Amino acid sequence: LVFERPILVGDTVEVNNLLGTVNRIGVRSSNISTFDGAEVVVPNSNLISNDLINWTLSSNLKRIEILIGVAYGTDLNTVLKILKETVDSHEDVLKTPEPQALFSDFGDSSLNFRLRFWVHFEHGMQAKSDVSVALYNAFAEKGIEIPFPQRDIHINTNPPEPGENKLTPPE
């Protein structure tokens, strides 16, 4: 840690499902303050030998992705326009790299889209929430349905006669 400098005081790191800000780097251990308010002492050997994600070492930018589906029959171009206008209007969304509104696939119950955009790390969760709510409201305003999975179930109410082969359909 001292020589390679994979983390610095003030970095936001993730190690062993622990996400927080580095407060102190010592000879044997480091202190990380979690976003839940806990102060965790982590042996430096854990920081070196385990997978370490440093969210802010070279940049404090984070890409956010929102997956959303709309009902079949909805105009794809209208959805793409709403996605782009909504994300472009949020103040925390960065203009560069430019946000992307993408049609991704034909799902079982919906036409699926991906909305990708970049924010400063500390605004990530709030920006994702704000943009998601704004999309929901914009879709509702335009009458665009966000479907839920649906399945048709067919129940046979005619039980087979005794001795009848259950695997062979009647003629």
Q: Provide the residue-wise pLDDT of the chain in tens; the chain has 171 residues.
A: 555 667 888 888 888 888 889 999 988 899 999 888 899 999 888 888 878 888 887 888 999 999 999 999 999 999 999 999 999 999 999 999 999 999 999 998 999 999 999 999 889 999 999 999 999 999 999 999 999 877 778 787 777 677 666 666 555
Report the pLDDT value the prediction gives residue 166, as an integer from 0 to 100: 61
CA distance 145 to 162: 48
Compute the radius of gyration of the chain from its Cα atoms: 25
Give the pLDDT confidence score for residue 4 in this predicted structure. 62
pLDDT at 58: 80
* Confidence (pLDDT) at 68: 97
| pLDDT score of 152 | 76
Residue with tokens 């079949």: 72
Beta bridge partners of 162: none
Provide CB contacts within 8 A for 50, sequence distance 6+. Answer: 15, 16
Amino acid, single-letter form, for residue 162: P
